[in-house]
Structure 1
């Protein structure tokens, strides 16, 4: 905590400064003999609290307090006043002055004041950090959505810093998967710190890779040295976690709408797909790329009667629902929900044909609580109601 003592009496200044310095290294006392010197120090140093006498030549305490209030509103100003100036100082409390102390101020009153201000500053810093953390979490979520071309709500656009260029880095371990979840998030923090030296960075943890987005104030993407940053990331993560990585990047102007295109460019190159959309890899590599879809389809086959959803499947795979949705549709030509309905209706057809279960029982066994809704889905898929279908296959 930095405290500026302003008084034209050297003895008063040095006495208060000794009390401040005795509190330890976290407290620093600055001294000024009038308002003009005080303003010069405030401009040069980071000051948290000003303790100033009222009566001084040139700029007095009240004038100084007014200047500080207008130009540095985060600084608390405390007036030192005598009994004859008490009413004068009291009225100044309504003009933005934080507090007043009667001269000669006792050691206990000074310590009490300093502790009070210090506690308030700590609370403000904590609130500021929490606010920044919440903003970063929301910004990261919006960036993740933009990777899949989802629009950003207008209210959240102010979260993004001004940038003239941006880059997307896709980081994947050369092994089959990234390490366990806790280690992936440790890697995320390292990458954010490394990229943070070049601008504002956000890192998304996906199931098979990390996606890092760098927003830079540099005038063009060439100034970001993406190759150098990629090499540094690979080197640091390799040494910390003994893991080999493949890192691809794509850079563009500061238009956030390009994030999806840059990400897809990286993913195509990472997965061996050329600019025309042709997959150049052997079939075994393509199969590995579809691993998440295979797992999801197996879960649907096994858990169709439960409460399996796109969100719950994505959570189990440690990917975003948007990512799984896009990947699933690209590999199966149907959405997650369409495939789940298809499986459920298929199971219902089997039960209608092979058992004597009542239709409401079959409805529950394939994951539906509402028989009317189940019947509508069944007819939309087969052209017949469940009863009509049973009649047609059991004749």
Structure 2
């Protein structure tokens, strides 16, 4: 058992020394860590040096700060037991001492036998307090571990399920409020022989340990938290959190940490990893949309190779790097295709493509042809992103990178490129027309028409030709409420109407409005309106 740290305060040196001897006579479990001649001196030392102690034995009458005031002031920031010693048998002192939490009130001269008995009582109470604190700490640790395991399970389910209805997004309530950053880690082509693949499970654990250790070493002294879960063998998700709102230091520190982890994996394991790194966000309902962005972003590995960190804000730079590998004539023809595709005349786009194909035929290396085609497609994607004021991350990327892989000959390659370019031109033309109307109004109309269907942010955003991330932020900025709250409000308003005007069962109403769990629907209804569905019906149902 740990020693009981004791402080003695008395303005008479002789009495202080006697109290010291009395405490020492009570056994080895008592440790005197400080003796002071005045309450003010004791207060300053304890406060300035952050002294942790268990028992304070103090005189009452002292010149600068008396013992009762000392106890009162220290109780504001410290947890301890106190014994008041006084040369005055004054009941008012006794009352005040008890109010300040003193365990006993002793009169001078202190009787040794009485003091030892009193200290035994103090020791038992302190030991009991320690036991309760230890038990409570263990309970909190177990609760924290259970909560973390539940959060990991929720994150795993959310990133696995692409069609999660907004009614199920109350899982976000299980997480703290602040700023998040999502990271996807994918191991590149194995650097070990096939015979050693059985050892990949050990490396799987090793990679996780390396990431966690480095994050804790670099961010352990800050408010950064993280959750780590697998997306299959040697593929992982990492969610970083900071309680501050869009803290640039959080962004800078986590980006550097991710780059360091990538290099650490290369040095410490037979693997390299490619990492997709998202931007900061506060609304956890956007997690599924950002997940899709990072999975698309990962496809850049096919062009630029592995062992890299791919960031959304670096897409343009990556495409610019690709331009270094193409000839000036290819560069010129690509710009002509993009310019033509932004016009209304499809024939101009086809004409520009034919000139591009003629240039491709002069290239003698399949690698150069592939790089030229990728450059064309990436430039169109990036231009498409610029044209789209909502900055959508291209889901087209996986399709783009397969154009040269699927073609059996040059003729098929030309047809595939032509079809893809004209398809993107058509999409861009449609988006130009659609985005001219009010996207918020169109989103609300779509929601009202689909209250009983599976509603996701992605589906709503696609209807108004926005990226899910941008749409969610845009909707809140324009309406003052989150898209989740708006969908919930619409569904529950419809539920009120059905409860008040029909005799449908609550289960049927719940299912009809997209809530498969009737208990959850009833709990949500009561949270919003202060009444259960049955109570609301009893008060508002209109008989025929």
Q: Mark the CA change 1:225 to 1:84 in structure 2 (over 3 Å): closer, same or farther.
A: closer
- Aligned pairs for 1:316-395 (under 5 A) are none
Deviations 1:173-230 (A, max 9, x none): 2257997667645643542343343422111223231111112336237842454222
Instruction: Please give the alpha-carbon distance, in whole angstroms, between the structure 2 residues aligned to 1:263 and 1:20.
Output: 64
What secondary structure, in the 3-state scheme, does the structure 2 residue paired with 1:152 have?
helix
Tell me the secondary structure at the aligned position of residue 247 of structure 2.
coil
Q: Could you tell me how far apart the structure 2 residues matched to 1:227 and 1:277 are? A: 26
Q: In structure 1, which of residues 49, 55, 60 is the aligned counterpart of residue 60 of structure 2?
A: 55
Q: Taking structure 1 as reference, are residues 142 and 267 closer, same or farther at Cα in structure 2, changes over 3 Å only? A: same
Is 1:95 equivalent to 2:214 in the alignment?
no
Residues 203 and 29 (structure 1), Cα distance of their counterparts in 2 relative to 1, 3 Å cut: same
Equivalents in 2 of 1:221, 1:277: separation in Å?
33
Per the normalisation by structure 1, the TM-score is 0.54
Question: How far 1:167 sits from its partner (Å)?
Answer: 1.9
Q: Is the 8 A contact 1:140 1:203 kept in 2?
A: yes
Tell me how far apart the structure 1 counterparts of residues 6 and 93 of structure 2 sit (CA, whole Å). 19
1:5 aligns with 7
Task: Confirm whether residue 256 of structure 1 aligns to residue 287 of structure 2.
Answer: no
Aligned to 2:36: 32
- Paired residues of 2:251 and 2:280 also in contact (CA < 8 A): no
Partners of 1:98 and 1:131 lie apart in 2 by: 33
Unmatched tracts of structure 2, length 5 or more: 191-196, 303-392, 407-457, 459-544
2: CA distance between counterparts of 1:30 and 1:161?
Answer: 43
Q: How many residues align?
A: 278
Say whether the 8 Å CA contact 1:65–1:77 is kept in structure 2: no
Partner of 1:235: 263
For the aligned residue pairs, the C-alpha RMSD in angstroms reads: 4.5
2:72 alignment partner in structure 1: 66
Compared with structure 1, are the counterparts of its residues 276 and 154 closer, same or farther at alpha carbon in structure 2 (3 Å cutoff)?
closer
Which of 235, 241, 250 is 1:215 aligned to?
241
Could you tell me which runs of 5 or more consecutive residues in structure 1 were left unpaired when the two chains were aligned. 287-325, 327-395
1:23-55 per-position Cα deviation (integer Å, ceiling 9, x unaligned) = 69xx78244333323332343315252422252
Aligned-partner Cα distance in 2 for 1:160–1:227: 21
Change beyond 3 A, Cα 1:28–1:256: farther
Residue 117 of structure 1, CA deviation: 4.2
* 1:316 match: none
Name the structure 1 match of 2:231: 206
Change in Cα spacing, 1:19 to 1:120, as seen in structure 2 (3 Å) is farther
Deviation at 1:275, TM superposition (A): 1.0
Alpha-carbon deviation of 1:128?
A: 3.6
Q: 2:170 — aligned with what? A: 152
Whether the 8 Å CA contact 1:221–1:251 is kept in 2: the answer is no
2:45 pairs with 1:41: yes
Structure 1 residues 5 and 226 mapped into 2: Cα distance closer, same or farther (>3 Å)? closer
SS of structure 2 residue aligned to 1:168: strand
Kindly name which structure, 1 or 2, has the bigger radius of gyration based on alpha carbons.
2
Q: Distance in 1 between matches of 2:263 and 2:231?
A: 21
Does the 8 Å contact 1:4/1:47 carry over to 2? no
Cα shift at 1:5 = 0.7
